[in-house]
Structure 1
Amino acid sequence: MSLEVGEHLGEGERYRIERLLGTGGMGAVYLARDAKFGEEVALKVAAAVGGGEAVIRQRFQREAKIGYRLGQQTGFVRAFDWGRHGHLLYLVMDLVRGARALALDEGSRAERLGRLADAARLVERAHAAGVIHRDLKPANFLEDEQGAVHLSDFGLAKLGGIEELAGQETMPQLTTSHIGMGTPRFMPPEQFEDAKRVDERVDVYALGVMLYRALTNEYPFDGRPLEILRAQQEVLGGKAPPPRPRDVDADLPEELDALCARALVLEADQRLDSASELLEGLRPHLPRGKRGKGAGRARRKKKAAPSHPVPLDLPPGIVRSEEPGRYRCERDGSELVWVPPGELRVGSTAPEANEDESPRFRAKLEHGFFCGLRPVTWGQYRRFCRDMGWAIPASQLQLASGETWSASEEHPVFHVTWQEAFHYCQWAGLRLPTEAEWEFAARGSDERTYPWGEDEPSAEHGNWEGHPEHGLHPTPAGAFLAGASPWGCLDMAGNVWEWVYDWYERYSRWIKRDPTGPTEGAFKVIRGGAWSTPPLHCRTTTRRMFAPLLRAPNLGFRVAR
C-alpha cells in the first residue's frame, strides 16, 4: 500500500508525496506538500480492505474532529483533512519536524521524568477539554527537533460532544461493549472489559505505565494481551503482589515508588484521579526549570469546594420555607433541602461492606436536586389516600411483648409498596430519588461511613435495633438532629428503610452521569436501614433489594424533585 514520490492525492491533487517518514501497525506516514497553502504536512495512509474500511474511515474522521479541536492549542497534533485514494484511506496532519517517540530510556532520571511531565501536562489539558485519549503511550507523544512534546493520534479518543453528534456512525464499530481497545501494555482492566465506558483514569494508568518505564526501563505487565490480562487478574485476586518500581531498582526514592504504585492501581476507584495529581507528585523530582508553579494543586482546591447556588427560579410548586436553607412542596407540605451537583464514588470496599456494594463506580450528578428533609409521614400519606380515594394501609405493629403499637401522624409511613410511593410522588409533583442521589444526599463527596461522619453510631444519631430507648418501632420522622447528613437530611440511617427509584442490579465499575439504574428488573433498591436492623446495616452504602409489590413494617420512602 505504498505511495510513490510525486504522487498526488486529494481533491484537485492537493497533496504531493515527498518521501516516506515511517511505517506502523495501521499503515505508513509520508511527508507531503499541501499545494493549497504551500506547507509541508504529514499524511497517514491505511489500506481500505473489506469490513475494516468503515472502522478505519471512522477512526480517521474521529481523529480529525478531535485533533482539530485540540489543535488550536500548542502541543497537540492537528488532523484537518481525510479522504480516499484508490484502495487507501488517508489522514492529513500537522508535521512535527524531527518527530520521534517520547524517550523514556535516555538521559538522567530527572531528564526522563521531565519529558514525562511534559506529556502529563498535555494529558491534563486534554482532559480539561473533555478528551480522554485511551491510547497513551510513548509512540503517541512526539518530540520535535527542539525537544518539545506533542500529543498525537486521537483515533481512539473519547469526547462526549462528538459522540453525540456522530455516535451512530462511530462508536458501535470502534468501541463495541466488552471489546477492549488500545495498546495492552498501557491498558487497565476496565479498558480491556469495556473501553466505551471508561473515564480519565485510563489515561492516568497509562501515564503510570510510562512512569514505571522511565524509572525501571521495564513494563509493569508485559507479554501478549491475554497474558497481560491474566497477570492483572492475579493481582486483583490477591494471588500476586502489584508491581512496584523498587522491586526492580531498590535505590529509587520511596516517594516515586509510591506515586507510581498509586497510578497503577488496577481498581479504578482507588487509582490517582487525575494527571494533575501525578504531576504534583512528580514536581519535586523534576529538573528545576520544569517544576512549574503548582497550578494543578490550585485547580484541585478550587474543585473541592465549588459554589452551587440554589436556582433563582424554583420549580413549580416549590417555595422557600421560613427556615433559612429549607424549601417546601406546596402540595404535600414536604420540607426539602437543596443538594447541589456533585460527584461521588458509589459503594464501599470496607471490610464490613456487603458484596453488592462493589465494585465501586464514580457517579457524576450534573444537576442539583431537592431532597426530602425527612421521610414522608403518616399524616402526609393519609391526606394523599383520602384525596385519591385509596385505602389507608395498616399503621399498627404487633410488638414482641404482644402489645399493639400505633403510629402517629408524625411517624414515617410504612406498609407502602414501591408503586404506592411512586404514585404519591406523582400526586405531589415530586419523584423518588435515584439510588445515586440518595447516597449523595446521605454522605456527600467525602465517602463517610454514616451520614454524620465516621463516629460510631450512638443513641443520638438514629433509631435502630438495640437502641437503648427505641429500636422496637419507628420514631417520629426527623427526631435525631445529630444524625444529619452533609446537606441536612435526617433519618438517612435507621428508622425506616426507604424506596428509591432504581431497579436492583449489581454494580459495574464504569463512570455514570446521573444514573437511574437498569430499565427493568424483579426487585427495587431500598436504602438506609431501619429500627429493626443493626447499626452496621445503616451505613450510607448499604443496599437491599425488595419486591416492588410487597409491603413491610419497616419500609417507607422520602421524596425528591
Structure 2
Amino acid sequence: MTNRPQQDPLGIIGTIIAEKYRIDGLIGEGGFSVVYRAEHLIWQQPVAIKCFRILSQAPAERRDELLDGFIQEGRLLASLSSRTAAIVQARDIGKFTTPDGLWIPYMVLEWLEGKTLDQVLFEERIAGYKPREVHEALALLEPVASALEIAHSKNIAHRDIKPANIFIIGDPRGPSPFTKVLDFGIAKVMAEHAALATALAQTGKDISAFTPNYGAPEQFSRTHGATGPWTDVFAMALIMVEMLRGAPVLDGDDFVQLAVQCRDPNNRPTPRSFGVEVSPEVEAVFAKALAVAPADRYPSMGRFWAALYQAVFPEGAGWNMPSTTGIASGASLGVASGRGSMPSMGSITAQRAAAGTGMGAPPASGPSYGTPQSTGALAPASMTPASMAPGTTGPGSRGKGGVIAFAAVAALALLGGSFVAYKLFRKPPPPSEPAPAGSILAGPAPTSSVSAAATRPTECPSGMALVPGGKFYMGSDDPAFKLWQPAHQVSLDLFCIDLHEVTAGEYKECSDKGECKRPEASPNWPKTAGTTDAEHEKKRVAYAELCTFGKPGFENHPVNCVNWAMADRYCKWRDKRLPTEAEWEYAARGSDGRKFPWGDDEGAVGHMNAGGKEFTAWERAAGLKPSDQLYPQDDGFPATAPVGSFPKGKTRFGADDFVGNVWEWTADWFETYKPDEVINPKGAPAGDRKAMRGGGFNGGNILWLNPAFRFHQVPDATQPSIGFRCAKDL
C-alpha cells in the first residue's frame, strides 16, 4: 500500500462515489470506520459518509454474503431512524473500491452541526459550572430515551450508549435543544451474524467491544448474562449520574479497574453514593437501573424513564412511552415540583420553569445555536462564569459571552472498539486547544475547504422557534366539534415557526419594497348564512376600523385584512412559507395532547387575546349585535393586541399568540380528516377553502382556544380577525 497523508486514510478525497457523493474531506477515523464529509451532488447538501474499513479485511469469497448482512443491518438502522428524529438518519448504503483496491461498504448519514454530550460536559466541568438537576437531565435526554425505547420495543439494543454517542443540536442549557443517538452499533449488531463473526475472526478484532467507562457488568463478563436493552439502561443511568455529579462515574486507569467498579455489588454508582442529594424514590430508581444482575434492572429504557419520571414528578401525569410506528421526537411528560403542580409540558423550558431555575421564556430572537467558527475552536472567554448573563446556569446562556459552538458530524461516534481507542478519545480537547471544525475528535485539522464547509448553519433564523420533528395525534375525538374528528397519528419533520404573528410593520416593509400587495382599507368576506345584505355591509364597514395596516400605533399588531395569497407572498419574500395545518397544530401543542398551547388549564385573562367584555362593548358602540363572551373581564384590547402581549400563553416551543389575537392562514386546502396515520400531510391537492387555525380576538367559545380547533375560509377573504405567521424548512 502506498504511503498516504494521515488526512486521507482511504485515499478518496476529491473522488465521486456512486456518481453522486463527492468526498470533500476527512472528519475522523477509528478502529472500525472512517468518516468523510461529502456533498450530495444532486441535492447539493452535505452528508456524512461512514466507511466500514474493518470489512475490507474479510475474505473475498465471503464479501457478497457479508454485504447482504450489512444491507440488512443498514435497513434496520434506516427503519429505526425513520421512526424517530432522535436517531441519526440513514440516507443510503453501498460499496466502492479504493484506489488501493480495498473493498469498502459505506453508509450515508445525515450531516449535523452541534456538539456531543461528552464535549459539553467536559467544557462545563473545566469552566466550573454547576451540575444539572435531575429534571434538567431528564429534559435534555428525553429524545434519546424515547428513541431507545422504540429500538428496545423491537428487542434491539445500542450496546454503546455514552456521552460521545449523544449529539446535541442547539444550546445545551437553552430552552429547546434537541438530542440524537449516534452510532447505533451497526458493526456490533452485525457481529451477531455467525457468517460475519467467522469471516472477521482472522482480523483479531473484537467488533462487539464497548466503551468501558459506560459498560454494564455483562459486557465485562458474560457470566452476568447476555447484553440487551437492559445494557443500555445501565449506561444511561451512568450518564445521568455523571450529569448530576458533574464528573465521570466509572473512572479507572485500565480495563480491570473499571470492571471491578462496575461489578462491585457493595458499591453501586448511584447519585447518593457520590453525595448528590436526591429523594429516596429517585435513588431507588437508579439503584435498580444500576443493578449488577441484568434481571434486576428495568428491562427497557421506557420502563426506566417512566419510573424515573414518577420519582421526580410524583404529582405529574407521568411519562408516556413512544409508539413504535411513525416518527417520534420524544415522549410527553407530566411535571410537578415543590412549588406546585403544572400541566403536562414535555419541554426543557417547562422543566426548568417547574423547578424554578429562573430560565424563563426563550428570548424573542428564538433558539440560539451559536456561531460556528472556521477553526472549530471555542473562544476561551465564552467559557468563563463571568460571561454568563445573570440568572443563567451554564455556558449555553445568552449573555454577551455565550458559548460559540463548533460544527460536528453525528456519524463520528464510531470508535466503539478497543480500550486503546477509548483511552485516546475519552476526553475532548479543552477550549484552549482548537479541535478540527466538523469533528469531535482531537487530531490533525482537515483541509481549509472542509473547515469552511463545516460552518454551514442549521439554526432557525432570528425570530423563529425550532420545532423538532415528532409525532402526535392531530385533531380530537371530542364530539363537541365535528370538523376536528377523528384524532389521527401524524409524523412531521423538523421545521422552524415564527415566534409571533407577522406584524403590520413587517408587512409594510414588504409592501414598501413593491414585493407585497397593499391591503384594502375595508375588509371583504362572504356573507354568512342568515345574515341580510344590509347587516353584512354594516358589519364590513364597521370592521374596517379594526384593520391594522398603515395605522400609526399599530405597527406591532398582527397584520390582518390580508387574503391567503398575500400571506403566501409575504412568507416567500422572507424565504419562508406558510405552515401546513399539521405543522401549525404540532407547534401549538406538541406531542402530549394538551388542550391549550400552555397546558391543560383553561387559563383566562393573561393567556390570550380573545372575546372579553371589551370586544362586546366595541360591538355595541358600533351598532352591532354583541357576540358571546369567553370571559367577563376586560383584557385591554377591543381588537388585536401587540404580538407577545400575553406571555402566559406561550407554547412549549416559546411562540406567542397561537390562540387568540387573529386566526392564522395555513398552507393547506381544507379537507376532512381520515383515521389513517400520515407523514408530513399537506392537505387536499385542491379546493375552494383554505384551512385556518387559532381563533381570534372575537373568539367567544372556549373550543376556539383548543389547538385542535380548525376552520376554513375562501382564500380571497380579508377579515380583521385573520392574519398569519410563517414557517421554514431546515
Same fold (TM over 0.5): no
- TM-score w.r.t. the length of structure 2 is 0.34
Bigger RCO (CA 8 Å, 6+ sep):
2
